[in-house]
Structure 1
Amino acid sequence: MEEKKWIGADLIFDLDADHIPGADQMSYDEMLARIKIEVLRLVDDFLLGDLGFDVSHLKIVFSGGRGYHIHVHDERVSSLKSHERREIVDYIAGNNLNLDWVFPTKTVNYKEIKGRIQESRVRCIPPKGAGGWKEKMRIGIAWLIEEMRSLDIPDLRSRLPYLAGYSDALIAGMLKDLYEKRGERSGSDMLLEKNIFDCFTNKRYEDLFIGLLEHEIIPRFRCEIDEPVTADIKRLIRLPGSLHGKSGLKVVPMERDDLDGFNPLSDAVPEMYTDKEIEVYLRRNVDITMRGKRITGEGICKVPEYAAMFLIGRREATLEFVENSEQ
């Protein structure tokens, strides 16, 4: 025992629907669909994209519950310690992204006033192909410009919650600078063409636009992962092929090409569960599709064995009537 030592670990990501805003208002299948979007973003945009791992180094596993585990088996990361893995987490989650680094300033003009040199500076926009978060933020600028183009201020406030703390006058000033024509072109037309923020007539308008990028765009590109799991070099992860105790579903490993068409409520239902109907008591109204069959009802109902296992595991059903079903 004294000779044992830690020699390495896969880089592991845990994505669970619990971490998605509004998950408590979603049905189970809605949560599964939403978390798959996060998985695809993590795999395609970050692991295979920005970080450059080969698809052969990835193992994607449906957790059997409400999410997925991603294992990166690559000797280049197996020896990383917790603080180094934490840096990878921060990158993927967009934590503390420095916008002064994304949009650095440069001097565009010098002016001498009463013997003193004053310089005019402007924020730069990353060029096409910048890669990483710089490329993501450039794409975000284009999205934000189009998103705001045809909306009035009340609609903008509804669509972009960050604007709640700002006056109509300030928002209107920012919009005017972006969309009002100056000759044949508008300010928004020139932003990504010239790669500089030079269309704003007031620094407060520019700061508002930058604030929108920080609070509305970064969350759209970041990935919702369980951050402590990735930083933990001794974390135990559910074994592929086992059954999840709270759903009865199988923990299913898959390749990247299998992920798009994977349906947990069909593909993760163990073959040993039959179509034989079992009488259960449903605590509340149930409406779910498993193995292609829609299952609905409330109270005492008969459901296929596979659905009974799933609903009992999730505490949505019992094998006998419970008078106070909310406890």
Structure 2
Amino acid sequence: MNGDHPEDNLLIARAFGRPGATASTMVGLNEEAGIWRVTDADGEQDLAVAWPSGPISERPEIRREVVVLYKTACERLGVTPREEHKPAAEHSHGTPLPQDGAADSEAEDKAFSKVIRETSWSDHSDSEGAGFMDDIMHGRASRQDYIDLVAQHFFMYEALEVAAEQLTADPAFADFHPAALVRKSALESDLAYLIGDDWRERISAVPATEAYATRIREIAAENWLPGIVAHHYTRYLGDLSGGQMIAKLVAKQHDLADAGIEFYNFTELGSIPAFKNTYRAGLDRLGVSMDDAERKRFLEEVRIAYGFNTAVFVDLSRQKATA
């Protein structure tokens, strides 16, 4: 990609978190994301952009995912994509559109975990790119900013893990929530280290976090398992993916070893990639168990969850500005 269309790298960097980028080169990748080395006014730093369709395992998938990133970047930045990457209906040679029902058939055959990822990907990217998190990811955030984030996590997971607890006896929920995944005690330890023993009296939820926790409690009161999984998915799989990068950045910037970042320590879970595969298989089974209406509702709930996450970051930015 660096040799064929180097300008594509710059578009991707600008669209996915580094709007002021002046140079960008793809320097690596893994099953979860592509890695770009980006230069802007803050200097040179690496930018990880998650693959739109979820984890990849085969070389041909790389080009497919990069093309999707490029087209999404063009859309976000208002740039016309190159001819070979325009939608079929826009090509000058008039490539025929799929026959009626072809798209529906393809969606039906696709694993539900991939459908979730593709449906919510733009929401996920928006959440990652929110200003408050952008500061944390690029080393501009203070130690207090990080503490404020940990505090909001506490209120989120307090509600989410109460909701999860009521489903522990349900076999359909077993693969999603092993004991090693529970985060509340780790958050309590982190807050005690970062703030002190009186941390509980010194933290408060921003309005968006309160609304987020309320939504989780409403879903739990309904006893709607897929709805709880929707919120569970957006939080825990994020912690196991981008969250691991956040932990490394925060640890380096604020000189933290284990204490203060226990929230991101999933050692007891075993292999993170293996667990994520188990989790996605559970999502696939859940998708099969639901009818079309419930699948649609589930996908909407995932997007709602991402919306709450973004709103929390916005509130934290406002709180910081008025402090």
Q: TM-score, normalization: structure 1?
A: 0.20
Bigger fraction of residues in strand? 1
Q: TM-score, normalization: structure 2?
A: 0.20
Bigger fraction of residues in helix? 2
